[in-house]
Amino acid sequence: MLLSSEKISAALNQPFTITQEQIDFFQLNGYIKIKNVLSPELVQYMNEVISAEIDKLNIPTIDIEKRDTYGKAFLQIMNIWRTSEAVKEIVFSKRLAKIATELMCVNGVRMYHDQALFKEPGGGFTPWHADQYYWPVSTEKTVTVWIPLQKTGLELGPLEFSAQSQTLEEGRTLKISDDSEAVIQKKLTLNDFTKVVEPFDIGEISFHMGWIFHRAGPNSTQQMRKVMTIIYMDKDMTLMEPKNENQVADWEAWCPGAKIGEVINTPLNPVLYQQ
């Protein structure tokens, strides 16, 4: 069933109620999966809009066998909201931003950037990593929403979490690589963190903290695994002196013009929701 533009806007912005129990779960475990946040019809619409934009961008690729582990993990396209008004409406969803705000226990959130992660048929695993290694931000008040654009069984390579691993500081200096997979896996096993590997239903999405360790399995099907993500940060987040070259690159790409020690308030980092 096709949705009208009015129904799409309403579905993206109508508040979704989460419980204190869910907030407590997120704060303890560093992640949460929430069912039925999006209707099947809205997910279908998002799939069509985002896929069309990815096709339009015509991302050049080399044969998957010739890529390194990172390259085999997924096709990664960022800040699509800047090229498509339809995608912008999705990314600026107050429904999603409100959930992020409440899970982080802050007064509002602003954009860091969006990111489409398409794992190709035969695509490899995504190694263990923590996202915030890449981000020059001053606090841990960051969260990523992971939105599958189709029902995502284990064979498609859904997101996996190491529950409560946001407390582990070892491994935070590792970028996504074969090294991060081996070293972090060993640290997580030694510290007896629980690995969570579950499929995602249509309309089910997850939120995870910037410092929680996570990975994804390979895509063993002939179907593209399509995922849209939005990275939120506390609306009062300030820029930190970068600690590695990746954080320097992120500063230049996703918050250009922001100054160290000041709130990251640039045209690329609008406030998406505030209480």
Q: What is the CATH number of the domain that holds 142?
A: 2.60.120.620
Q: Is residue 19 part of a domain?
A: no
Token output for 167:
């407390």
**Which helix (H) or strand (E) segment is 274 a member of?**
strand 271-274
3-state secondary structure of 91: helix
Answer yes or no: is 66 within a domain: yes
pLDDT in tens, 260-275: 999 999 999 999 999 9
Mean pLDDT by 10 residues, the chain (275 residues): 86 97 98 98 96 80 58 74 96 98 98 95 90 97 98 97 96 88 91 96 98 95 96 98 97 97 98 97
Three-class DSSP category at 275: coil
Distance, in Å, from the CA atom of 157 to the CA atom of 96, rounded to the nearest integer, reads: 23
**Residues paired with 159 in a beta bridge:** 216
* Residue 23 within any structural domain of the chain: no
- Please report whether residue 14 resides in a domain: no
**CA-to-CA distance for 75 and 261, rounded, in angstroms?**
33
Residues of the domain holding 154: 28-253
Using alpha carbons, select from 98, 58, 97, 105 the residue that is nearest to residue 77: 58
C-alpha triplet 89, 157, 13: angle, nearest 5°: 20
pTM of the complete model: 0.93
Listed in sequence order, the residues at least 6 apart from 53 whose beta carbon sits closer than 8 Å to its beta carbon are: 80, 83, 84, 86, 87
Half-sphere exposure of 159 (CA within 13 A, CB side): 29
Token pair for 63? 């044969």
Note whether residue 261 is domain-resident.
no
Could you tell me if 209 and 143 are in contact, meaning their C-beta atoms sit under 8 angstroms apart? Answer: yes
pLDDT at 177: 85
Q: Is 222 part of any domain?
A: yes
> Is residue 265 a part of any domain in this protein?
no
Which pLDDT score, from 0 to 100, does residue 64 have?
A: 57
Residue 269 counted as domain residue: no
- Give me the number of domains the chain comprises: 1
Give CA–CA dist 261/229, Å, rounded. Answer: 27
The pLDDT tens digits of the residues spanning 210-225 come to 999 999 999 999 999 9
3-state helix, strand, coil in the chain (%, to 5): 35, 25, 40
**What is the C-alpha separation between 142 and 112, in angstroms, rounded?**
9
β partners of residue 197:
160
